[in-house]
Amino acid sequence: MTGLLIILPSPTGAPAAVGPATRIAGLPLLRRIVLTAARAGLTSVLVPSLVSELGQLAGTTATVLSTGEPLASRAMRRLVFLPATVIPRADWLAGLLAMPLARGRLHVAAGTVCVIDAADPDAVLGLVAGCRSLDDVVAALGPRFPESALAAGAGGRFALTAAADLDPAERWLLRGLIKPNEGFMSRHFERTVSLAITRRLCPTRITPNQMTLVSLAVGFACAPFFVSPARGYQVAGALLFLAHSILDGCDGELARLKFLESRWGALLDAVGDNTVHSVVFACMALGWSRHTGSAWPLILGAVAIASTLAVALVVHGRGMRASTAGGPPTLVSRLADQAVYRDFIYVILILGAFGRAWWFLALTAVGAPVFLIVLAWLGRQREYGRVSPTNSSP
């Protein structure tokens, strides 16, 4: 069933300090809701002309609907009414479209959203013409459609009821950027720092690609420190590597939070990260080779670089990560996610404290090829698993 989102100007009793133009994490509420709807697959969004901040809709797929203006005749579709002061998550909106609901009934989650499956959208929109709040919509449709409670998950939206809710709303949005498949230290330390930085970047004009370039500069700056056998230099290099990892999280956070994702940005981030890792491994190999007066560390470095690049190609090229795959994570996706965890940086930091950061090359030169073989084998099993049910069907 197709869906149509109607954004209402304000909820009942909304404070003057909160409205469609209120900025949250660098974007006005109205624009944030429309872009979130598009991310959820809801490309049909109506904004009544009663909303005064229509300039926020430039570059979006939202349609401004004048009072009484009819829609083109359409088949049965689901109408979702959402106040302009309720911040939704994309998966929550997608869930509203997918959940089974009884037809001919008005499903209401008080103060948050109401949903109805309408055979005649024009007639329903005619009844709610001029409604400014969710309570107005319920009052207008109540006499025609029996009301039912809507079981809408509370964690998928944040309703602003007072000016004091603005800071908690931003923190809620930032927490939503934490991926469930992150490493322990990444989740509890790096992400905490990167989110604090991102929150301060949101009101500025700094772009995700600019943050990627900053993180790459820090990453390249850390590499020469690993040429030295001195513990102080190796620890300094590891700390700079950690700073690169933290800043590298900011570009993606900023892109998702301000809806600035792009294929070019993703490519720059992926290529840049792997280039930094390769340069770091190359400097480790060079330093170890000079220290031992032997060429075998250079071979370890070459193996480590080649195998980590191969793992990156497999993981990203075949879409095996749990964070990008549809459905629940599988053994394949969970293992693939291990390849992009940043917790290995703490191993380098610990080894560097003993002047042995170079040893990480040996771990990588052995572990990465084995990991690649396991990943490829499990990926092949997954492909066979997808094909066999089709081949066996009558």
34-90: pLDDT as tens digits: 899 888 887 678 776 555 555 667 777 677 665 455 555 455 588 999 988 899 999
Average pLDDT over every residue of 159-177:
90
| pLDDT greater than 70 at residue 339 | no
254 compared with 83, residue with greater pLDDT: 254
Average pLDDT over every residue of 248-275:
92
Where exactly does CATH 3.90.550.10 map onto the chain?
Answer: 2-159
Helices 263-292 & 359-392, crossing angle to 10 degrees? 140
Where exactly does CATH 1.20.120.1760 map onto the chain?
Answer: 177-392
Q: What pLDDT, on a 0 to 100 scale, did the predictor assign at position 214? A: 97
Q: What pLDDT, on a 0 to 100 scale, did the predictor assign at position 394? A: 31
Q: Do 199 and 207 touch, CB atoms closer than 8 A?
A: no
Residues 6+ apart with CB under 8 A from 272: 212, 213, 215, 216, 219
Candidate CATH numbers 3.30.420.40, 1.20.120.1760, 3.30.2290.10, 3.40.50.1820; the one for domain 177-392: 1.20.120.1760
Query: How would CATH label the architecture of 2-159?
Result: Alpha-Beta Complex (3.90)
Locus of tokens 């590499």: 223
pLDDT tens digit sequence for 24-35:
999 988 889 989
| pLDDT greater than 60 at residue 11 | no
User: What is the average pLDDT value for the chain, to the nearest integer?
Assistant: 82
Q: What pLDDT, on a 0 to 100 scale, did the predictor assign at position 46? A: 76
Q: What pLDDT, on a 0 to 100 scale, did the predictor assign at position 225? A: 97
Q: What pLDDT, on a 0 to 100 scale, did the predictor assign at position 2? A: 74
314, 316, 317, 318: CA torsion to nearest 10: 70
